[in-house]
Amino acid sequence: MLDLRNVNFGYSRHRKVLTDVSFSVRSGASVGLVGESGSGKTTLLRLLLGLEWPTSGTICFGDDPLDPADGAFMRRYRRAVQPVFQDPYSSLDPRQKVLDIIAEPLQSLRIAGPHKDAVAQALEAVGLPLDAMQRYPHEFSGGQRQRIAIARAIVARPQIILADEAVSALDLSTRIRIVDLFKTLSATLTLVFVSHDLGVVAALCEEMVILEKGQVVESGKTRDILAAPQHPYTRRLLSSIPRMPA
């Protein structure tokens, strides 16, 4: 569904952020992109969202490469791909009602209204009551806000959800519930989940791609990588994670 081939990217000519990144995301897969700060994971996500373009290399959606000149194709792509961001406090417009926030993608993708039914379905899918529609973001807790952000992402029935550290700002007891929600959604959607938290990715994603300093050091089935990490960086990452006492 998504296929990255030798993607290179730099914000300036002298500083490369991504070097020769290649991997693919099959339809229906759940893939975790794991890396620490400076690994290029957020930049990679920006490329996947079509907000930046590779300096060289290609990103294919289906059989066709993303192309800024092909407006019709990019519109189709943007409809197929929806983001969920890290901080539900800054990613929701405080002056809009939840109904309008969730309906926003439908409007910007020029999908004909009325949108109320679609919004109601999205709210139901993320486990929020229907009366949430008429309320404002500040009336909700962090976990509920993240549910609103997820409802907004799924309302236009995308094929792929791109989540950027989507549970990192949440408390542990909330985080586990939002991870469960993503897990439920990933049964019917393709999920690309960017995170620094290997534990969350391990619990959620079947596959993962490990990034270090803009390069893919290891990728494959989560189970296999955890059982036998091949790259020294993956091993260091794994051994750094504090574990619960037995």
Partner 1 sequence: MSALLSVQGLTVSTGGKTLVSDLSFSIGAGERMGLIGESGSGKSMTAMAVTGLLPGNISVSGSIILDCQEVVGADDRHLNRLRGVATAVVFQEPLTALDPLMKIGKQIAEPVRRRLAREQGRAMRLAVDREVLDLLDKVALPQPERIANAYPHEVSGGQRQRVAIAMALACRPKLLIADEPTTALDVTTQAEILRLLDGLVRETGMALLFISHDLPVVAQVVERVMVLRDGIALEEGAVADVFGNPSHDYTQTLVDAARVFDEALGRTGS
176 binds partner 1, rule: CB under 8 A: yes
Whether the CB-CB separation of 87 and 118 falls below 8 Å is answered with no
Q: Tell me, residue by residue from 47 to 76, as one string, x for binding to partner 1 by CB under 8 A and - for no binding.
A: ------------------------------
The phi, psi pair for 109, rounded to 5°, reads -90, 5
> Which stretch, 13-21, 24-32, 184-192, 234-242, contacts partner 1 (CB under 8 A)?
234-242
Least distance CB 218 / partner 1 (angstroms): 13
CB of 106 to partner 1, least distance (A): 32
Q: How far is the CB of 240 from partner 1 (least distance, A)?
A: 4
Taking residues 114 to 143 in sequence order and writing x for each that binds partner 1 by CB under 8 A, - otherwise, the string is ----------------------------x-
Kind of pairing, strands 160-164 and 81-84? parallel
Nearest distance in Å: CB 212, partner 1: 10
Work out which of 199, 221, 230, 232 binds partner 1, going by CB under 8 A.
199
Kindly state the number of chain residues that form the binding site for partner 1, as judged by CB under 8 A. 29
Report how far residue 235's alpha carbon sits from residue 114's, in angstroms, rounded to the nearest whole number. Answer: 52
Q: Pick one of 15, 37, 71, 95: the residue that binds partner 1 (CB under 8 A).
A: 37
Least Å from the CB of residue 178 to partner 1: 11
Length of the chain: 246
Instruction: List Cβ neighbours of 173 (8 Å cut-off, separation of 6 or more).
Output: none
d(CA 124, CA 130): 7
Residue 172's contacts (CB-CB under 8 Å, 6 or more residues apart) are none
Distance CA 222, CA 47 (A): 23
Q: What is the DSSP letter of 50?
A: T
> Does residue 15 interact with partner 1 by CB under 8 A?
no
Minimum CB separation of residue 173 from partner 1 in Å reads 5
Helix, coil or strand: residue 140: coil
CB under 8 A: which stretch of 83-91, 117-125, 186-194, 221-229 binds partner 1?
A: 221-229
What strands, in cross-sheet order, belong to the sheet with 15-25? 15-25, 2-12, 56-61, 64-65
Q: Tell me if 229 contacts partner 1 by CB under 8 A.
A: yes
CA distance 103 to 122: 10
Interaction site with partner 1 (CB under 8 A): 36-37, 142, 171-173, 175-176, 196-200, 202-203, 226-229, 236-245
